[in-house]
């Protein structure tokens, strides 16, 4: 079959690029091994809160080398109390030095805990600097990604991390992560966030959105005054930043990333998610928290127990924001953001991120924002063609044997006959279990992740997949968003989703951070309603659209998947404020119009290439 030959070549190429399962964490470990020894070291109290090197702490960690406390730049709205709210909350007059980097320095100062090194015992930063760039990242792939910004007075993008004053300790961690230059979404969002602006950012999968919201939050907390805890229940904690994400695994992943970025900055990150014992999370919270990463359900539980208060939140970030505001999650998110004690928009800073932003969700989301900037960066697989997308017509009854053929071909073409990491999406939990069983029976080690599995089983499945022990992961949509699993060579949509945005997120589990990947979809009559949006998406991404799919597309009207305004040509979303109906007054979008101020007059849009 001609398709298979070319597919096999693609799979082999993709697999070759993705060889070395687990190498990213390994490289971190290798880089850090010089410091030697994993045993916990006792640090006397007077030496805590200092960089771990034998040398005396560099003056830059407490005094700014790159002082950019420019008025207007990095002047978050909470720094200078401008209303009663700030005075009440008590963080305006805290003990931090005004201006400069006086807020925090070094590791945590939280009693008996010593900060664990998230880079794997890599205490000697210089060792890491020697390693230079993370060469697996292909930045050329981002060369011509289109970027669109809209809103008032959009701060200009930066080209390098050096241009931004994030603080010495954070800069050191960026170098430890081997991030040499910012990705396009980071180039735009970091200056916007540092300027204290609210943001709705739509950027393609795998393009570095996590760092884009973590860096300004960590930097802002480092820079800000040390907060004074309001009088409340003795066991209530008051995080300064809240990062919400829709799944437990994604929250865990964001927590891991944020811990790396905040290492030795004095900023403490804690995660809370369902399915894991709450007592352990409560103990962790009691040890101190600046940034809380959470799933909505567990957070509501903590709020209702009065163990967490949102009264001092300065930064709110919603990752996968469109998912967080769709029908399933919206009531919980509204409760957290609007009905508890969180400061309102305009007092807190709010950042919403996703690879997709349907117009109706933007409308809901705008309730949470004040005078925000909308940013769109590329679309999945857009002009970079990072993800090769294939669609094959496969009847329901033939799906298993077809999958088997693909896996056989992939194994035959893989390095040393090894199976490349393959993520297979199915529609139902039962379907996932049954396909996993069938694959294992047929000699393909597989595991599964879905909502009916215990949290322990879910985490074990992910570990086993990442390590390559079970190189096939059968998943429901619980694994569709955000998960950054290195070396996933192939995503198979065994059952296509009903929504084109879900397809975008699913295939985005491959082709990440400038690497290439392959996505194969099995299509049949049951997916007719997706035909039009799928064909359009593939065409926009310069993919080969089979003639039969074009015929299906011509016949179908695509109902819910035509997503007016969602696709927006090259982008995963387009600022809904640019719709004519919004500009005519937009009263249907805003009950009281309280958030609409600011962009009515000076609103402007700007399209650029990422590297201008």
Ligand X SMILES: Nc1ncnc2c1ncn2[C@@H]1O[C@H](COP(=O)(O)OP(=O)(O)OP(=O)(O)O)[C@@H](O)[C@H]1O
Q: Which residues bind ligand X (CB under 6 A)?
A: 134, 137, 179, 182-183, 186, 203, 205-211, 355, 482, 484, 508, 512-513
Minimum CB distance to ligand X smaller for 300 or for 491: 491
φ, ψ of residue 162 to 5 degrees: the values are -65, -25
Minimum CB distance to ligand X smaller for 61 or for 356: 356
- The residue among 481, 431, 465, 429 whose CA lies nearest residue 254 is 481
Q: How far is the CB of 41 from ligand X (least distance, A)?
A: 28
- The residue among 161, 147, 141, 164 whose CA lies nearest residue 64 is 164
Minimum CB distance to ligand X smaller for 436 or for 501: 501
Are the C-beta atoms of 210 and 243 separated by less than 8 Å? no
Handedness of CA 188, 190, 196, 198 (dihedral sign): positive
Q: How far is the CB of 120 from ligand X (least distance, A)?
A: 15
Minimum CB distance to ligand X smaller for 209 or for 348: 209
Q: How far is the CB of 307 from ligand X (least distance, A)?
A: 29
- The neighbour count for residue 58, using CB atoms within 10 Å, is 15
User: In 507-599, at which residue ranges do the beta strands (DSSP E only) sit?
Assistant: 517-523
Q: How far is the CB of 303 from ligand X (least distance, A)?
A: 26
Q: How far is the CB of 205 from ligand X (least distance, A)?
A: 4
Minimum CB distance to ligand X smaller for 214 or for 237: 214
Characterise 343 by phi-psi region: left (phi > 0), alpha (psi -120 to 50), beta (else).
beta
Q: How far is the CB of 250 from ligand X (least distance, A)?
A: 8
Helices (H), 203-327: 209-223, 248-262, 278-286, 296-304, 321-324
Q: How far is the CB of 253 from ligand X (least distance, A)?
A: 7
Minimum CB distance to ligand X smaller for 515 or for 574: 515
Q: Which two tokens stand for residue 361?
A: 């969700």
Q: Which two tokens stand for residue 545?
A: 């659209």
Are the C-beta atoms of 209 and 353 separated by less than 8 Å? yes
- The residue among 275, 242, 290 whose CA lies nearest residue 115 is 290
CA 276, CA 544: separation in Å to the nearest integer? 44
Are the C-beta atoms of 106 and 266 separated by less than 8 Å? yes
Q: How far does the chain reach from its first CA to its final CA, in angstroms?
A: 44
Helices (H), 414-454: 429-441
Minimum CB distance to ligand X smaller for 484 or for 575: 484
Q: How far is the CB of 167 from ligand X (least distance, A)?
A: 17
Minimum CB distance to ligand X smaller for 204 or for 447: 204
């Amino acid at each position: 079959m001609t398709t298979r030959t070319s597919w096999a070549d693609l799979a082999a190429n993709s697999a070759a690029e993705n060889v070395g399962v687990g190498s990213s964490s390994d490289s971190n470990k290798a880089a850090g091994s010089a410091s030697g020894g994993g045993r916990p070291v006792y640090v006397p109290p007077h030496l805590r809160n200092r960089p771990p090197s034998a040398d005396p702490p560099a003056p830059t960690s407490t005094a700014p080398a790159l002082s950019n406390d420019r008025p207007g730049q990095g002047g978050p709205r909470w720094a200078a109390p401008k209303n009663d709210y700030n005075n009440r909350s008590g963080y305006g007059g805290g003990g931090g030095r005004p201006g400069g980097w006086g807020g925090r320095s070094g590791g945590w100062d939280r009693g008996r805990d010593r900060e664990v090194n998230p880079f794997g015992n890599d205490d000697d930063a210089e060792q890491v600097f020697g390693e230079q760039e993370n060469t697996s990242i292909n930045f050329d792939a981002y060369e011509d990604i289109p970027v669109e910004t809209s809103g008032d007075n959009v701060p200009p993008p930066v080209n390098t991390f050096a241009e931004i004053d994030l603080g010495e300790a954070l800069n050191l961690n960026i170098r430890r992560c081997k991030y040499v230059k910012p990705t396009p979404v980071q180039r735009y969002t970091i200056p916007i966030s540092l300027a204290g602006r609210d943001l709705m950012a739509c950027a393609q999968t795998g393009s570095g959105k996590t760092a884009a919201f973590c860096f300004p939050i960590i930097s802002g907390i480092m820079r800000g005054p040390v907060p004074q805890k309001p009088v409340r229940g003795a066991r209530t904690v008051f995080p300064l930043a809240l990062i919400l994400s829709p799944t437990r695994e994604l929250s865990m992943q964001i927590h891991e990333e944020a811990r790396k970025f905040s290492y030795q900055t004095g900023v403490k990150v804690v995660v809370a998610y369902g399915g894991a014992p709450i007592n352990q999370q409560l103990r962790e919270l009691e040890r101190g928290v600046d940034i809380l990463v959470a799933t909505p359900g567990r957070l509501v539980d903590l709020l209702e127990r009065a163990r967490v208060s949102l009264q001092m939140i300065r930064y709110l970030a919603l990752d996968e924001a469109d998912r967080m505001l769709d029908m399933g999650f919206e009531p919980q998110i509204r409760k957290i953001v609007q009905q508890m004690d969180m400061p309102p928009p305009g007092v807190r800073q709010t950042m919403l991120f996703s690879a997709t932003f349907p117009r109706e969700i933007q409308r809901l989301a705008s309730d949470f924002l004040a005078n925000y900037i909308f940013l769109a960066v590329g679309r999945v697989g857009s002009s970079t063609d990072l993800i090769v997308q294939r669609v094959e017509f496969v009847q329901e009854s033939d799906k298993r044997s077809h999958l088997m053929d693909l896996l056989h071909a992939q194994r035959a073409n893989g390095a040393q006959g090894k199976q490349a990491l393959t993520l297979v999406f199915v529609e139902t939990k039962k379907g996932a279990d049954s396909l996993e069983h069938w694959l294992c029976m047929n000699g393909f080690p597989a595991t599964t992740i879905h909502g009916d599995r215990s949290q322990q089983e879910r985490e074990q499945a992910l570990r086993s997949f990442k390590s390559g022990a079970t190189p096939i992961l059968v998943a429901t949509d619980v694994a569709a968003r955000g998960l950054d699993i290195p070396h996933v060579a192939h995503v198979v949509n065994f059952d296509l989703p009903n929504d084109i945005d879900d397809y975008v997120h699913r295939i985005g589990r491959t082709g990440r951070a400038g690497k290439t990947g392959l996505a194969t979809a099995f299509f049949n009559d049951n997916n007719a309603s997706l035909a039009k949006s799928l064909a359009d998406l593939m065409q926009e991404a310069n993919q080969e659209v089979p003639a039969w799919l074009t015929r299906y597309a011509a016949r179908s009207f695509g109902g819910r998947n035509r997503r007016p305004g969602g696709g927006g040509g090259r982008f995963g979303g387009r600022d809904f404020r640019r719709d004519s109906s919004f500009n005519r007054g937009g009263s249907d979008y805003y009950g009281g119009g309280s958030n609409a101020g600011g962009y009515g007059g000076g609103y402007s849009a700007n399209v650029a290439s990422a590297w201008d």
